[in-house]
Chains A and B, each alone.
Chain A
Amino acid sequence: MSVRARLEAGPFDPSAELARLVEAASNDGAVVSFVGLARPQSKDGANVDRLVLEHHPRLTLKSLEDIAVEAAERFDVSQVRVVHRCGEIGAGEPIVFAAAASAHRRAAFEAADYLMDRLKTEAVFWKREEGPAGASWIEPTEADYADRGRWE
Chain B
Amino acid sequence: MKIHFYGRLAESVGREIEVDVPESCSVSELRALLATEYPRAANALGHRVRALVGDIVVADSHIVRSGDSVEFFPPVSGG
Distance in angstroms between the alpha carbons of A98 and B79 in the assembled complex: 9
A119 CB within 8 Å of chain B: yes
**CB of B77, distance to nearest CB on chain A (Å):** 5
B55 CB within 8 Å of chain A: yes
Q: Across the interface, which residues of A come within 8 angstroms of B79, CB to CB? A: 36, 84, 95-96, 98, 116, 119-120, 123
Distance in angstroms between the alpha carbons of A124 and B77 in the assembled complex: 6
A28 CB within 8 Å of chain B: no
Q: Is the interface of B mostly helix, strand, loop or mixed?
A: loop
Contact present for A124 and B76 (CB under 8 Å)? yes
Once A54-B6, A137-B7, A137-B8 are accepted as A-B contacts, the answer to whether A123 and B55 lie under 8 Å apart by CB is: no
Taken residue by residue from 15 to 43, chain A's Cβ proximity to chain B (1 for < 8 Å, 0 otherwise) reads as: 00000000000000000000010000000
Distance in angstroms between the alpha carbons of A79 and B10 in the assembled complex: 37
Contact present for A119 and B78 (CB under 8 Å)? yes
Contact present for A139 and B77 (CB under 8 Å)? yes
Distance in angstroms between the alpha carbons of A98 and B78 in the assembled complex: 12
Bin chain B's interface residue count: 10 to 19
Contact present for A123 and B8 (CB under 8 Å)? no
Taken residue by residue from 48 to 77, chain B's Cβ proximity to chain A (1 for < 8 Å, 0 otherwise) reads as: 000000010000000000000000011111
Closest B residue to A85 by CB, please name it.
B78
Distance in angstroms between the alpha carbons of A120 and B7 in the assembled complex: 16
**CB of B19, distance to nearest CB on chain A (Å):** 21
Contact present for A120 and B77 (CB under 8 Å)? yes
Distance in angstroms between the alpha carbons of A36 and B78 in the assembled complex: 10
Taken residue by residue from 110 to 132, chain A's Cβ proximity to chain B (1 for < 8 Å, 0 otherwise) reads as: 00000010011111111110000
Contact present for A126 and B55 (CB under 8 Å)? no
Distance in angstroms between the alpha carbons of A59 and B79 in the assembled complex: 16
Q: 26 A-B contacts, Cβ less than 8 Å apart? A: A53-B78, A54-B10, A59-B55, A63-B76, A63-B78, A95-B78, A96-B79, A119-B78, A120-B77, A120-B79, A122-B76, A123-B77, A124-B78, A125-B76, A126-B10, A126-B76, A126-B77, A127-B77, A127-B78, A128-B8, A137-B8, A137-B74, A138-B77, A139-B74, A139-B77, A140-B75
